[in-house]
Chains A and B, each alone.
Chain A
C-alpha cells in the first residue's frame, strides 16, 4: 500500500518547489530556522511532523530536508525509513537536526545524508544548506 503518490523522480524541484523543507514540531525552532534561511534568500516550506512532510512531498520536491527526530504522530526515524523505501523521494538529501546524545543508536541501520547537532548555530546551518542547495 502506498501512502501517497509522489511526484515523478526528477533532479530538482519544479519552479514552485522551495529549496528546503523544515520538518520540526517545535514552532519556535521552525520559525528560527526559517528566518535564518529566508534572510539568506533560501525558499522554505514547513511540516510539523513526518506525516505532514510525506503529504507535502506529494506535491513539492525540495532540494534538502532538515529533519528533527523527536516529533509526535510520525517521528524522524519513521519518516526517514519511509523516505528511503520510496524510490521517488529517496534521493532527496536529508539532514537530521537533533540534540540526542547517542544519535546512531537511535537511528539503527538508518543513514541520513548528514547531521547537525542541536543547539543549531546559524553559520553551520547555512553552510550545510549551501552545501546541498547550491
Chain B
C-alpha cells in the first residue's frame, strides 16, 4: 500500500476524460494525491479560476476549436501566479516553442509524462519563491510608506547631511520650518542655512561631532528665504554606514522660537526690574541720608535743650528717627534682593572687627530698642577680626537684630560674639515668640515668616538675605527655637576665604 501522497489540486484544460485519468495515474505514481478538475471551454475555465483552489494548470494543446494558447490568454486576465504546463498528444517542437513564448512554464508530450511530476514540483517551488518575493517586496514597500509618512508627518524637522556638509534628505516639517521647498533645501549646504552669527558655532559643534561621535545639542538660527530667521533647537547625531565609517549626520530641528521669545522677554524684564530697583534704591538713599542725619541730630539737640515744649516733641521726633531707620533697612533689603536674585552678591572683603560692627549697629538701632522696651547686651571677650565684606556683614547683623527686636516681645536680647577655631561665631538670642520646629527651615526662605503677615509687617526677606550673605562668605546660619520661649540664631563664618591664611 502506498502512503497517501502530497495533495495536488489540478485544473485540467482537457477534452478527454480518459487522458485526465491517465494524468491522475501518472501523478499518483509519482507520489501525488491529485484532485483533478476538468474543464474544456473558456467560460468553464474562467469560472474555475475564480475559485482560489488550484496548485497547477495542466492544459492539452489541442481542443476542439481551441488551443492551450487560448487558455493561457484567459489565465493571464487573472492576477494569478499558477504554473501553466502544456501537455500535448500530437504537437511538435514548434508548438512547444509557441506555448513557452506565450508564457507557459513547461511543455510535455503525452507520450513522455514521466518527468511531469518533477516539473510540477519545480514549478510549484518557483511559484512559491515568486510569491514570497512578492510578499517581501510588498512588505518593504509598506514599511517604506509607513516610515515616509512618519518622516514627513512628525512635528520635528529632520534632515540628513552627508560628509561634505550637503543636505541630502529633508522632511516636510524641516522645509516648512525654513519656509522653503524640498527642492531648494536638498543639495544646499547645511551651513548656508544657518544665520551667519551662528555659523562658526555650528561648524565647530558638527566638527567635534564627526570626531567624537557624541550627540550635539544646541540652538541655532535658521535663515528663511524672506530674510527672517527661525530659532531651531537642534540635535545632531553622527551616522555610520554598514562598515562603521562616518557617513554624515542626522539633524533633528524643533521650532523653539516661541520659547526663545518668552525667554528673552523674561530676561529683559528681569534686567529692567533689577535696574529699576537698583536705581530706585540709589535715589531713595540720597534723600534718606539727609532725613536720617537731620532727624537724629535734631533729636540729639532737643535732648540737650531745656525748651519747655521738649516733652511734647521728643517722642514724635524719636518716632521719626525709628521710622527712618526702618525705611533704611527696607531699602537696603530691597537692593540686596536684587543683588542676590541677579547673582551679583559679590564680596568686597577687607579686614574688619565684627564686634565694632555689632556695637555700631546696636547704637544705630537705639531708638528702636528703646521703643521695643527690650534691652540688648553685646558680649565678646575682645575684638573678633576677619576678612569680610563690611556691607554684607552689616546686613547680617542688622537683619538678625531687627528680627529679634520685632519678635522679642520686649524681653532682653543677647548678642554673643566669639572666635571658634577658624570661624567667627555670632549668636543672637531673644526671649520672644519663638518658632515652631516645622517652620525652622522655612524662615530662611524668601517671603516667609513664622507668623501671619497680617500680624507682623515687613517683606519677609530679612533672614533670606542674611542666609545668602552668610553663605556668600562660606558660613552657616542655624536657628534653634521653641514657641513662646524665644529663638536663637547662630551664625558661623570663616575669618578668611577658604584656602587663605588669616
Contact = CB atoms under 8 A, between A and B. Distances in A.
Contact of B364 (A97, A100, A118, A124): A124
Interface stretch (A13-21, A24-32, A51-59, A80-88): A24-32
Interface in B327-347: 328, 331, 335, 339, 344, 346
Given A100-B282, A124-B364, A39 B289 contact: no
B296 interface: yes
Given A32-B293, A125-B293, A26 B286 contact: yes
B285 interface: yes
Given A26-B286, A99-B282, A101-B282, A36 B346 contact: no
A97 to B, nearest CB: 8
Interface in A94-133: 97, 99-104, 117-125, 127
Q: Nearest 10 pairs between A and B by C-beta? A: A32-B293, A99-B285, A28-B290, A119-B288, A119-B289, A122-B296, A29-B290, A32-B294, A118-B285, A118-B289
Most buried by B among A100, A104, A117, A121: A121
Interface string B11-54: 00000000000000000000000000000000000000000000
B286 to A, nearest CB: 6
Most buried by A among B278, B281, B297, B331: B297
B452 to A, nearest CB: 30
Nearest to A33: B293
A35 B301 CA distance: 10
A36 B360 contact: no
Contacts, number: 75
Contacts of B360: 121, 123-124, 127
| Interface bin, chain A | 20 to 34
A93 to B, nearest CB: 16
Main secondary structure of the interface of A (DSSP, over half): helix
Contact of A36 (B285, B297, B335, B364): B297
Given A32-B289, A32-B293, 5 more contacts: A36-B293, A36-B297, A101-B335, A119-B288, A123-B363
11 contacts: A26-B290, A29-B290, A32-B289, A32-B290, A99-B289, A100-B282, A101-B339, A103-B348, A118-B285, A119-B291, A119-B328
B262 interface: no
A127 B346 CA distance: 27
Given A102-B346, A117-B391, A122 B289 contact: no
B287 interface: yes
B292 interface: yes
Contacts of A26: 286, 290
Nearest to B299: A122
- If over half of B's interface residues share one DSSP class (helix, strand or loop), that class is named, otherwise mixed; here it is helix
Contacts of A121: 292, 296, 328, 360, 364
B282 A120 contact: no
A118 B391 contact: no
A39 B293 contact: no
A121 B292 CA distance: 7
A28 B282 contact: no
A39 B304 CA distance: 11
A119 B292 contact: yes
B196 interface: no
Contact of A99 (B281, B291, B296, B300): B281
A26 B328 CA distance: 19
A118 B293 contact: no
A38 B294 CA distance: 13
Interface in B355-377: 360, 363-364
A119 B297 CA distance: 15
Contacts of A29: 286, 289-290, 293
Interface string B297-310: 10011000000000
Contacts of A99: 281-282, 285-286, 289
Contacts of B331: 119
A96 B364 CA distance: 20
A39 B391 CA distance: 27
Nearest to B338: A101
B324 to A, nearest CB: 8
B292 A122 contact: yes
A103 B285 CA distance: 15
B393 to A, nearest CB: 12
A127 B356 CA distance: 11
Contacts of B328: 119, 121
A31 B335 CA distance: 26
The listed residue with most A CB atoms (<10 A of its CB), out of B287, B290, B294, B300, is B290
A44 B70 CA distance: 131
B292 A120 contact: yes
A39 B301 contact: yes
A120 B363 CA distance: 14
A18 B314 CA distance: 32
A32 B155 CA distance: 68
Contacts of B288: 118-119
